[in-house]
Amino acid sequence: MTIDIRTMLHRVVAEVFDEKYVVVDVTSEDNPGLHGVHMFWRPNEGRTARIRASYEWMDAFIPELNVQTILFDYDDVEEEKEVQVRKLCLVMRAYLQGEGHIEKRRQLFRRGEVATLRIQVDGHEWRLGRSTSSSPG
């Protein structure tokens, strides 16, 4: 049975983000298998987040920090994909509410700084970076 990724993504997002959040569909017509949402929390509109999902992977991205994390799920089990998307939603919700610790360090060969977000969700630490990330299993 084929999993409707768009419907699953929107269902999980609706369960995690209540009416205090603005959620906008950002699905691209260029890639019909990739679906996404962009969101912010009304009390703290300075923080935004994006979650995208395809049949094989899903990611969470924070534009203002230029950090992300990605999870892979190659199975055909919708419940397992939902679990992965829910994890990303919970991390993004925590960030939007002001949680997490942002670490900045200077770039080695370029001007400017690189950010890393460390955030605790459900007793597990997530690290989101520009080119690397780590998430609990």
22 or 131, greater pLDDT: 22
Q: What is the pLDDT of residue 71?
A: 94
Confidence of residue 119 (pLDDT cuts 50, 70, 90): very high
Alpha helices in 62-133 (DSSP H): 78-96
Range of the domain at 45: 5-134
- Alpha-carbon distance of 67 to 82, in angstroms, equals 22
Number of structural domains found in the chain: 1
Q: 3-state DSSP call for residue 16?
A: helix
Query: Within 13 A of 50's CA, how many CA atoms are on the CB side?
Result: 15
- Alpha-carbon distance of 9 to 92, in angstroms, equals 14
Q: What is the pLDDT of residue 30?
A: 82
pLDDT in tens, 46-55: 899 999 999 9
In angstroms, the first-to-last Cα distance of the chain is 26
- Alpha-carbon distance of 118 to 72, in angstroms, equals 20
Beta strands 124-128; 113-121: pairing state:
antiparallel
Contact 24, 39 (CB under 8 A): yes
- Lowest-pLDDT choice from 30-34, 48-52, 73-77: 30-34
Between helix 5-16 and helix 78-96 the angle, nearest 10°, is: 40
Q: Determine what percent of the chain is predicted with pLDDT higher than 90.
A: 68
- Alpha-carbon distance of 72 to 46, in angstroms, equals 29
Alpha carbon dihedral 122, 123, 125, 126, in 10-degree steps, equals -10
